[in-house]
A and B are shown apart, each in its own frame.
Chain A
Amino acid sequence: MTNDCAVYDDGVLRITNTDDPPGLALAGEIDESTYDGLVGALGSVANGSADVHVSLAGVSYCDLAGLRAIVCVTGAGHGNGGNGDRDARRVVLHEVPPQLATVLRIVGWDSTPGLAVDQPPGSPDPRRGGQPGSVAR
């Protein structure tokens, strides 16, 4: 559920806060022109003790640098690709568009410690092991 107040909106990328679960919902295109806005919004939710939830349902394009910023929002990947601390809070990606799920798999970031990808009910990706509706680690 989102509230109406956008934390960033430049007409290309719109970012709103979500309350339940707490995090951000992204819509639009993410590339170098919207990167700073993305990083700023991610910074506003990066500090805290709870998992960070990011809905990507409305993302029509996201480049690799933007995807990296999202995956690393809670500090995953600092050091050399994840420090393996499984007690750290996670970033949970919701409603990942198929092409971004493919990109995560191609670059191998889908197995980043501290990253979870929420599998929407009824559309399990057969190339992943998670159960429908589960949060696969």
Chain B
Amino acid sequence: MNRVEGTFEHWACIYDDDSQFLEAALPFLADGLTLGEPVLAVATPANLELLGAALGERSADVDYAESAFFGRRPPRRVGAFYRYWKGGQDRSRGSRVRILAEPAWAGRSAREITAWTRMEAAINVTLASTSISMICPYDARTTDAGILADALRTHPAQVAGSRQIPSAQYTDPEAFARSCDTRPLAQPPDGAQTFGFDGDLRGLRRFIVGSADAHGLAGDRADMLVLAVSEVGAYLKSRWPASATVRIWEQPGAIVCDFRQPGASISDPFLGLRPAELVPGDGDGLWLANQICDRMDIRSDAAGCAIQLQVPSSHDQEMAAQPGTRYPV
């Protein structure tokens, strides 16, 4: 099949008002429609309204989603982009796919902002083989200066109107991602449930089933946690003689599962961030784990490597009210 390979395009659009937003977003989307390309607009409700009014009848051909709900965590956003691209490839036989992808920043913690910014850098690598053209609008009226400055580091170029301006501040994505990984991981508290993982994946799954139950997770929430944890165990086992200490505990808003593998080191900052294909790739299972969990953080130091997963705790009322809403997007 003749796919367009290696042509991911990724622009930032920092705008000060509605007209600047439309000057960049409208031709980008309208040109895609003219070319018959799949076109997706992910933006704030206010900007979606602006686009709808400006596009008129043509808006019926634009797929859309609200920023806050299209992939609630960075890896899921990437997963959603990737699935949209794949679906578009199937429908339009290998054409490019256009995505307007406005991030949502309001109310985010510093840790979340780092995760979303890191994702902006990572997709330059992890989506490199897709034929997606993406503009990421940043609203300068409501977005912190630090986030805007990072946008110039994580996008190879900016758009202003129809002009494309290479970003002099663009930073090597790997170096940028590493600079995001300085925050220490949570330390397991005394009393965390502990399992010595020696390569017995079935034993590991039994441990997680029991722990999930103890923390009030049942049904598909327990099943999906088991899947994520087992894939992490399988990855460690595939790379090193497994001798990891696995601990699980609850902290406000999350169940945390922590692997510590002495003597191991993970140097790839994008491990688990490349979409799993039918052709096997390194870290596929960690991509799945990343799609399931709210967070997956990886650190290596002199002592070894740590992989820490987080899923919502049983007290999460959104999951309680609408089972399954967090999967897959």
Q: Which residues of A does B touch, CB under 8 Å?
A: 12, 29, 31-33, 61, 63-65, 68, 71-72, 76-77, 79-84, 98-99, 102-103, 105-109, 111-113, 127
Contacts and interface: CB of A to CB of B under 8 A. Distances in A.
15 contacts: A29-B202, A33-B201, A63-B231, A63-B234, A64-B231, A79-B1, A80-B277, A98-B223, A102-B220, A105-B327, A105-B328, A107-B291, A108-B86, A111-B86, A127-B324
B280 A84 contact: no
Contacts of B137: none
Interface of B: 1, 3, 79, 82-83, 86-87, 90, 201-202, 205, 220, 223-224, 226-227, 230-231, 234, 237-238, 275-280, 284-285, 287-288, 291-292, 324, 327-328
A11 B246 CA distance: 26
- Of A84, A108, A112, the most chain B CB neighbours within 10 A belong to A108
A4 to B, nearest CB: 26
B278 A112 contact: yes
A109 B278 contact: yes
A61 B234 CA distance: 13
Nearest to A32: B234
B90 A102 contact: no
By DSSP majority rule, is chain A's interface helix, strand, loop, or mixed? Answer: loop
A31 B234 contact: yes
Nearest to A104: B328
Nearest to B93: A84
A102 B225 CA distance: 13
A81 B83 CA distance: 12
Given A76-B278, A102-B324, A63 B220 contact: no
Given A107-B288, A111-B90, A81 B279 contact: yes
A6 B328 CA distance: 35
Nearest to B276: A107
B284 A80 contact: no
B226 A81 contact: no
